[in-house]
């Protein structure tokens, strides 16, 4: 009993550990997915920043290029560009006598991006594999990108990498040579539509990563809170279930003890019944013994003693005592508790019962009809079945006597179907009132007086058949009488 309970608790525990592992796995997976999405989101935002910066640069470059460059007053910061020496009108003098010098797109962009220390953190410049100004020389990453663009494989390239201990997104997009570019670059061999140069943008990732880590920290905190709440709920449910299992188990144990007490009570009642049946069985042989003893006394009185007569008397008396002693053996066997299951034919158990009760049935003019159609053995605790059979036969006898039935008869059928061996005990005592038929298996239900019935017989019979023998017991009113049916499985699973 204890083991079954421990197994139940173990099963429950394993079940909850399983739930915990699976939910932890799902939560970790979902957390990982969220963290990945969040990091992608911030990386995409940085990339978007780089692309926007590129667009601004290109617009500015296009604007400068569309004007064929712009003229500014030459200063220390913006001296005449030595790399534009080949451009005819690089330097001009206004009508007022002021000097102007030409700034081409890359000159303006370089000044804008580098000298203004980048736009909103973005840095960049125009670069090319064919340089006009060595200051625009590409670094290794840019060279790699430019080579890819030159081959026409891709028009843009980006990469998240770290440089000098700082994280960056490097972005580069190819520039295709337009008519307006040729003014300054035609002499380098640039042709219309070439992709020999590009604009490089680098965005420091620190701000993005800081924001990303703080968002990830928030996500982890929320997950952790929900996870802890979930685990607390799981533990609470588990503890509650365990407690309710414990209560249930206690109740089952109490019921089992109650049943055991009832079983003992019913056994005592059956024993009382048996003793009264033995009294019936003994009445006749004792009368016969008394008769032969009287014969001896009469022979002595009449002085007619002879050894032959004495021997006959003694033989008869011995025969009767043998009968008495066999009745006592029957009784002893009857209540001898058998611990081991035995392979037995149901007919034999029934015959054993009838041997004990038949005198009492005979005395009440109750006829017994037997139809045994099953010879199969079944492995059971036979003494328990004896108790059931006796209960049912006694009930039938009580009903037949109470209803004063003429031609009182108990019919016993034992037969089998595919799975079960079936015992039917029928009587012709008018059957059981429909109002009470559903209650007769309840404990302490009886229609008899306190002295003649405890109301436990059928309750105990049901427990024995259904819980101990793993069968089924039922009742029906058939042919003006009650018919109790017991199904016992052939294979005791």
Ligand X SMILES: Nc1ncnc2c1ncn2[C@@H]1O[C@H](COP(=O)(O)OP(=O)(O)OP(=O)(O)O)[C@@H](O)[C@H]1O
- 57-65, 145-153, 291-299, 452-460 -> range binding ligand X (CB under 6 A): 452-460
Question: Shortest gap between Cβ of 399 and ligand X (angstroms)?
Answer: 3
With respect to ligand X, which residue has the nearer C-beta, 160 or 445? 445
Question: Shortest gap between Cβ of 396 and ligand X (angstroms)?
Answer: 5
Task: Select the binding partner of residue 202 from Mg ion, ligand X, none (C-beta < 5 to 8 A, by kind).
Answer: none
With respect to ligand X, which residue has the nearer C-beta, 138 or 457? 457
Q: Residue 411 corresponds to which tokens in the numbers above? A: 């019919």
Question: Shortest gap between Cβ of 427 and ligand X (angstroms)?
Answer: 5
Q: Please, where are the H alpha helices in 302-381?
A: 307-335, 346-363
Question: Shortest gap between Cβ of 245 and ligand X (angstroms)?
Answer: 32
Please, which residues bridge with residue 416 across strands?
Answer: 421
List 103, 184, 458, 463, residue binding ligand X (CB under 6 A):
458
Q: Is 395 in the site for ligand X (CB under 6 A)?
A: yes
Question: Shortest gap between Cβ of 403 and ligand X (angstroms)?
Answer: 8
Q: Is 396 in the site for ligand X (CB under 6 A)?
A: yes
Q: Is 175 in the site for ligand X (CB under 6 A)?
A: no
List 169, 357, 440, 463, residue binding ligand X (CB under 6 A):
440
Q: Which of residues 182-241 bind ligand X (CB under 6 A)?
A: none
Question: Shortest gap between Cβ of 453 and Mg ion (angstroms)?
Answer: 6
List 482, 486, 487, 488, residue binding ligand X (CB under 6 A):
482
List 242, 453, 466, 490, residue binding ligand X (CB under 6 A):
453
* Cβ 65 vs Cβ 178: under 8 Å: yes
With respect to Mg ion, which residue has the nearer C-beta, 175 or 388? 388
Half-sphere exposure (CA, 13 Å, Cβ side) for 191? 1
Give me Rg for the CA atoms of the chain: 55
Q: Which residues of 75-97 are buried (b: 16+ CB within 10 A; e: fewer)?
A: eeeeeebebbeebeebeeeeeee
3-state helix, strand, coil in the chain (%, to 5): 55, 20, 25
Q: Residue 122 corresponds to which tokens in the numbers above? A: 């973005």
* Cβ 380 vs Cβ 342: under 8 Å: yes
Q: Is 457 in the site for ligand X (CB under 6 A)?
A: yes
**Helix, strand counts (H, E) of the chain:** 9, 14
Q: Choose among 379, 437, 389, 381: nearest CA to 414.
A: 389
Residues 6+ apart with CB under 8 A from 393: 353, 354, 357, 361, 410, 425
- 20-28, 281-289, 377-385, 390-398 -> range binding ligand X (CB under 6 A): 390-398
List 330, 447, 472, 476, residue binding ligand X (CB under 6 A):
447
With respect to Mg ion, which residue has the nearer C-beta, 65 or 456? 456
Distance CA 399, CA 313 (A): 42
Q: Is 454 in the site for ligand X (CB under 6 A)?
A: yes
Q: Which of residues 233-292 bind ligand X (CB under 6 A)?
A: 269
* Cβ 456 vs Cβ 468: under 8 Å: no
- 67-75, 178-186, 305-313, 444-452 -> range binding ligand X (CB under 6 A): 444-452
Q: Is the dihedral of CA 100, 106, 109, 110 positive or negative?
A: negative
Q: Tell me 139's DSSP state.
A: -
Size of the site for ligand X (CB under 6 A): 21
* Cβ 306 vs Cβ 312: under 8 Å: no
Question: Shortest gap between Cβ of 442 and ligand X (angstroms)?
Answer: 8
Question: Shortest gap between Cβ of 331 and ligand X (angstroms)?
Answer: 18
Task: Select the binding partner of residue 80 from ligand X, Mg ion, none (C-beta < 5 to 8 A, by kind).
Answer: none
Question: Shortest gap between Cβ of 373 and ligand X (angstroms)?
Answer: 22
Distance CA 133, CA 191 (A): 18
Residue nearest ligand X (C-beta atom): 457
Element (H, E) at 427: strand 420-427
Contact residues toward ligand X (CB under 6 A) are: 269, 391, 395-396, 399, 427, 429, 432, 440, 445-448, 453-459, 482
């Amino acid at each position: 009993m204890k083991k079954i309970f421990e197994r139940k608790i173990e099963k429950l525990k394993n079940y909850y550990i399983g739930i915990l592992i699976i939910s932890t796995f799902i939560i970790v997976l979902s957390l990982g997915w969220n963290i990945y999405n969040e990091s992608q989101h911030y990386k995409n935002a940085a990339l978007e920043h780089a692309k926007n910066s590129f667009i601004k640069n290109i617009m500015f470059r296009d604007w400068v290029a569309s004007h064929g460059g712009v003229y500014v007053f030459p200063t220390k910061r913006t001296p005449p560009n030595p790399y534009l020496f080949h451009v005819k009108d690089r330097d001009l003098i206004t009508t007022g006598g002021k000097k102007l010098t030409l700034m081409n797109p890359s000159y303006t962009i370089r000044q804008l991006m580098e000298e203004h220390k980048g736009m909103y953190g973005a840095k960049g410049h125009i670069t090319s594999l064919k340089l006009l100004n060595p200051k625009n020389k590409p670094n290794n990453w840019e060279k790699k990108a430019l080579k890819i663009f030159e081959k026409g494989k891709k028009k843009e390239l980006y990469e998240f990498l770290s440089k000098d201990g700082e994280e960056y997104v490097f972005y580069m997009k190819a520039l295709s040579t337009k008519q307006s570019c040729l003014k300054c670059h035609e002499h380098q061999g640039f042709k219309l539509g070439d992709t020999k140069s590009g604009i490089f943008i680098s965005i420091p990732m620190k701000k993005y990563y800081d924001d990303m880590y703080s968002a990830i920290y928030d996500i982890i905190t929320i997950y952790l809170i929900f996870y802890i709440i979930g685990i607390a709920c799981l533990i609470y449910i588990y503890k509650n279930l365990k407690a309710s299992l414990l209560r249930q188990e206690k109740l089952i144990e109490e019921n089992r003890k109650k049943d055991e007490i009832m079983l003992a009570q019913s056994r005592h009642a059956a024993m009382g019944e048996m003793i009264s049946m033995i009294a019936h069985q003994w009445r006749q042989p004792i009368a016969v013994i008394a008769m032969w003893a009287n014969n001896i006394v009469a022979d002595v009185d009449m002085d007619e003693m002879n050894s032959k007569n004495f021997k006959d008397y003694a033989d008869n008396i011995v025969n009767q005592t043998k009968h008495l002693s066999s009745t006592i053996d029957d009784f002893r066997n009857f209540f001898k508790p058998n611990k081991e299951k035995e392979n037995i034919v149901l007919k034999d158990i029934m015959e054993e019962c009838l041997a004990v009760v038949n005198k009492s049935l005979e005395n009440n003019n109750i006829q017994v009809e037997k139809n045994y159609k099953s010879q199969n053995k079944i492995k059971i605790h036979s003494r328990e079945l004896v108790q059931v059979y006796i209960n049912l036969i006694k009930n039938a006898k009580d009903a037949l006597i109470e209803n004063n039935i003429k031609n009182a008869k108990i019919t016993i059928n034992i037969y089998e179907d595919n799975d079960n061996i079936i015992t039917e005990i029928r009587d012709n005592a008018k059957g059981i009132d429909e109002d009470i038929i559903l209650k007769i298996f309840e404990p302490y239900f009886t229609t008899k007086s306190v002295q003649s019935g405890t109301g436990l017989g059928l309750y105990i019979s049901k427990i024995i058949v259904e819980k101990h023998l793993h069968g089924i017991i039922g009742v029906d009113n058939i042919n003006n009488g009650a018919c109790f049916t017991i199904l016992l499985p052939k294979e005791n699973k």
